[in-house]
Amino acid sequence: MKTYGNPVLEQLPLHLQQYIVDQQYERYTPVDQAVWRYVMRQNHAYLKDVAYYPYIPGLKKAGLSIERIPDLQTMNDSLRQLGWGAATVDGFIPPAAFMEFQAHRVLVIAADIRQAEHIAYTPAPDIIHESAGHAPIIAEPAYAAYLRYFGEIGTKAMFSYRDFELYEAIRHLSIVKEQHGASKRDIEAAEWRLQEIQGDMGEPSEMALLSRLHWWTVEYGLIGTIDQPKIYGAGLLSSIGESAACMRADVPKLPYSLDAVHYPYDITKPQPQLFVTPDFQRLLDVLEAFADTMAFRMGGVEGLAKAVECRNVCTVEYSAGLQVSGVFVPYGNGRVRYVKTAGPTALAYGGRQLQGHSKEYHANGFGSPIGRLLGSSRPLEAYDDVTLATVGITVGRHADLLFESGIHVEGTVVSILRKDGNLLLISFNDCRVTDERDGTVLFKPDWGTYDMAVGTGIASVWCGAADKDAFEQAALVAKEHAEPPVFGPRQLRLHEIYASIREIREYRRGDEERLTRLYEELAEAYPEDWLASLELLELAHQRGYSSLAGGIATRLLAKSRNNPELEKLVADGLRLVANPAKDWLMPQ
């Protein structure tokens, strides 16, 4: 993994490094560079008046310019001055991983860039959204603190198996929509699949609810007053369509509060309402209130039920501090009597795997009672060695334990494990574990050593393994990836035209005759293209080639009248040609 000399990236744990890909800057085409330049020029011209103030100076602090797609080295050179870093990934990554990157102060940047056909907005994450949307606000310390803390909370959020199905459907749609040559039928099928899953999500999980808070703040948030809000959400800052549309009076602006969790969102459509926070402290207050309802703070029966519903690796922490990581299965009909996993399970304490208790050792699952011993007024984890001996728990001796829940453990004690004075684990040989209430045998002597967790309750539950690097968790890396485009001779020639226009603009290597030849070739061979013509118009206007400029403008207006999707794009482009914005971001 390339770290760009940034200490923030160098400290990333291994389980996050699996999502990182090389940027491969050379694969950006001249058309891609023109798409970036158009969006950035439009954004700068408009957002300097409606974006939250730190956004415009924040662009420079994040290592961004109008002229070129940012390279990750330049971004990291700038962001490390703010205590952050940036890494490129392949499109959407699972929400839990996205959150954890934030907790480590790393912005994940989708390596791809939207096609010209989706220049105004794309549901797919791309380098415009991730870098020009998220990165500039990092320069605001209060917002950066919120983003990092959101990542810490999000890392603990429980998700359901339906959430991962939804993630896969969203990722598939984003890949199809940005795939060169994708058919309308393929796009419609992907949209239908997403709608089908969205309509059958059931009760929203913690991650689903938390994602709503993320959406209405980090992605689509407004700050200030209801009557005069400013934009700080990355989804708005990176969309030249929605950044203007969202400010219309017919888009409701609501005060931001915890009620935002009751507002689902659709990534394929403009937002029906937006939320306005008076300051970033309000964001932290709402996040803290939501965190108080989450399983990692509540634990208990509800937390265990969420772990079972997840059907993926989760961690249950006993009241004594032992952390059990695995796929949890139901037992006990709604009561916490016996914690049980299926398949590879690991035990940890304080986020570090216990020696000898890896997922290879507990390859077939783990199970343990929870609660007090029958007739005892003290929790078992509070017993010292003397007290343990009074109930027959001594290394080398036979023990017979009956819990209030009806779980019966009988076997020879072979070891007792304590950490920081906490009794975590008692291990038995020749052990039998039964549920006296219905006679179910939970462990037999010939299965080997029985490791019994100690704890009267469940203190915390969260998604993922306690020690993720030791657990080598890689189950949620998506199987589907975007294929790099293959360009034919006609498209390659168009790339050459775009490159020539950039060369003329940057090095002034071209006169009116050369500009005219390029425009005539565009008009004849690429009648569908508008962006290159707009760039030629800009050059002709700057150099006083009035006849050429007039001809290009007339043709662009005619094209936009015949294609409503181009009307605003062309009109905005013409407006900037006539009134170019001037600022430190503009080329000198």
What φ, ψ does residue 341 adopt, rounded to 5°? Answer: -120, 165
Amino acid identity of residue 502, one-letter, is R
Q: Using DSSP, state whether 86 is helix, strand or coil.
A: strand
What is the distance between the alpha carbons of residues 46 and 132, in angstroms, rounded to a whole number?
14
Position of tokens 């589907």?
Answer: 480
8 A C-beta contact, residue 111 and residue 26: no
CB 116 within 8 A of CB 531: yes
Question: Could you tell me where the DSSP H helices lie in 228-367?
Answer: 234-237, 242-245, 280-291, 295-298, 300-310
To 10 degrees, what angle do helices 531-542 and 546-562 make? 150
Dihedral-angle region of residue 211 (phi above 0 means left; psi in -120 to 50 means alpha; beta otherwise): alpha
Non-local (6+) Cβ contacts of 338 within 8 A are: 331, 332, 367, 368, 369, 370, 405, 407, 435, 442
Of residues 130, 147, 143, the one with CA closest to residue 64: 130
Task: For residue 134, say whether it is annotated as part of any ligand binding site.
Answer: yes
Which strand (E) or helix (H) includes residue 49? helix 30-50
Q: Is 25 exposed, middle or buried (0-12, 13-18, 19+ CB in 10 A)?
A: middle
Q: Which two tokens stand for residue 242?
A: 């929605």
Strand 322-328 to strand 352-353: parallel, antiparallel, or no bridges (unpaired)? Answer: unpaired
Give CA separation, 447 vs 348, 410, 502, in Å: 22, 14, 71
Under the phi-then-psi rule, with left for phi > 0, alpha for psi from -120 to 50, and beta for the rest, what region is 181? left
* Of 335, 338, 337, 316, residue with least CA distance to 326: 316
Q: Is 543 within 8 Å of 537 (Cβ atoms)? A: no
Q: Please check whether residue 557 is in contact with residue 572, taking contact to mean a CB–CB distance below 8 angstroms.
A: no
CA 491 to CA 495: how far, in whole Å?
6
Whether 129 has a binding-site annotation, put simply, is: yes
15 annotated ligand binder: no
Backbone angles phi, psi at 345, to 5 degrees: -140, 145
Residue 413, beta-bridge partner list: 428
Terminal-residue alpha carbon distance, the chain: 35
> What is the total residue count of the chain?
588
Contacts of 284 (CB under 8 A, 6+ apart): 145, 146, 149
Planar angle of CA 120, 585, 554, nearest 5 degrees = 50
Q: Give the other-Cβ count within 10 Å of 135's Cβ.
A: 26
Residues marked as binding?
129, 134, 219
Residues marked as binding for Fe cation?
129, 134, 219
